[in-house]
Structure 1
Amino acid sequence: FTVASQHDLKLKAHVDQFEHLGAVPIAVQMGAISVDHLEATPTEDLDILAQSNTIGVMLPTVNFNLGLTAFGNARHLIDAEGILALATDFNPGSSPTLSLPMVMAIACRYQRLLPSEALNACTINAAAAIGMIDHVGSIEVGKQADFLLLNTTDYRSMIVEFGRNFVEQVYIKGNLVWNTSS
């Protein structure tokens, strides 16, 4: 951590995926931008995380795919006013999915998030977790305008009806790069 921070590299830590190792307080003390996984993180460590600027990144599709029943305590982190991001952890071994709607559905069902919390965790908080909050993660003047147009009148549909593709158009830096008719 020390050498990385001396070279202006953002610190990230892979912690507590299968068992509690006590790394969250160390990562927070070292100024990590995020701590990822947190499946086995106890509430005391989540409280330390919540009192910091370090973002807790949970990856619910991992445990879902592995058939495990324990998920990170996202509800506690949010209730303690911590910053939660959600991601897929896409890889062929433990999380072979790119579907953020699936991530949000699992987080709502098993981690007791509200749909609005899950959407926030997959967008602006995820951008913050990779140091890109000034560029992406929300639609604001000055940001690069990466967004989707969805075929729904209610964003919660993509969480409730996971598995269905709601994407009509994809914009990157304000330019249409894909639509359903192409």
Structure 2
Amino acid sequence: AHAMPLKYRENRSEYLRQITQEMLPQIAGEGLADYIDVFCEKNFYSVEETERILEAGARYGLKAKIHTNQFHSMGGIQAAIRYNALSVDHLEVVNETEIAALRKSKTLPVLLPTAPFFLNDEHRPPARKLIDAGLPVALATDFNPGTTPSGRMSFVLSLACIQLRMTPEEAVNAATVNGAFALEMGDACGAIAKGYLANVFITKPMPSVAYLPYAFGSDLVERVVLNGQVH
């Protein structure tokens, strides 16, 4: 649930009824999704509306994820924790109380640096503060037509290092290992290890791993191995 359709702006309860009583049962019944995601933000979905959707999803076995704190701190993180959300995405605006709450939870912060970049927003996810607080952060693109019309993860790595002040090693870890755990796939994906799926890419010669985020915009991938097949 991202934005309320225009024709329901004056009848929000009806659209929420459709989500909770029609869409979610059908999605779960047809096995179309494992998770549900709500954008808990001012002018989108309130905390109460978010919790109503997540509670309905839980009844149908759909696990929670939340996008929140992109522009305002309004209780979305606390809602994510209450409903055992696997991840909470954005966090451009986050306070010390929310960081402390995340430290006590199993909800993984996912940072989306290309969103504020595209919107020219001065607020960026405080990666350093989150990492220094002991939180494992993941990185993702937030690929969507409204605020991030790009799915290029290499640029996400670059922004994570250049603007969010992450080290190259932290950025790579956040984009791979932690990203896999945000999808409950940490035991099969996200690392090069025995028993894991062989999903890797081989780069052109580079002086170090730091060259990946350093050479932003460059095509450094020479070969891709997907599920053990070389492409």
Question: TM-score, normalised to structure 2's length?
Answer: 0.73
Partner Cα separation in structure 2 for residue 54 and residue 41 of structure 1: 15
Q: Shift of the alpha carbon at 1:149?
A: 0.3
1:158 is the counterpart of 2:212: yes
Q: Which runs of 4+ in 1 moved over 6 A?
A: none
1:49 is the counterpart of 2:102: yes
Greater relative contact order (Cα 8 A, min sep 6): structure 1 or 2?
A: 1
The percentage of counterpart residues that share the same residue type is: 37
More displaced stretch, 164-173 vs 147-156: 147-156
Partner Cα separation in structure 1 for residue 122 and residue 159 of structure 2: 11
Residue 102 of structure 1 contacts residue 163 of structure 1 at CA under 8 Å; is this kept in 2? yes
Give 2:159's match in structure 1, choosing from 84, 101, 106. Answer: 106
Instruction: Point out where structure 1 has 5 or more consecutive residues left out of the alignment.
Output: 178-182
The letter of the residue matching 1:24 is I
* Structure with higher helix content: 2
Residue 54 of structure 1 contacts residue 83 of structure 1 at CA under 8 Å; is this kept in 2? no
Q: Shift of the alpha carbon at 1:5?
A: 2.9
Give 1:8's match in structure 2, choosing from 53, 61, 69. Answer: 61
**Counterpart in the other structure of 2:148:** 95
Instruction: Count the aligned residue pairs.
Output: 177
Aligned-residue Cα RMSD (Å) equals 1.4
Partner Cα separation in structure 1 for residue 81 and residue 144 of structure 2: 26
**Counterpart in the other structure of 1:180:** none
The letter of the residue matching 2:87 is S
Q: Shift of the alpha carbon at 1:119?
A: 0.6
Matches within 5 A, 1:1-182: 1-151=54-204, 152-177=206-231
Partner Cα separation in structure 1 for residue 60 and residue 196 of structure 2: 26
2:63 aligned counterpart, secondary structure: coil
Partner Cα separation in structure 2 for residue 104 and residue 142 of structure 1: 26
Q: Shift of the alpha carbon at 1:3?
A: 3.4
Partner Cα separation in structure 1 for residue 132 and residue 153 of structure 2: 22
Bigger Rg, which one: 2
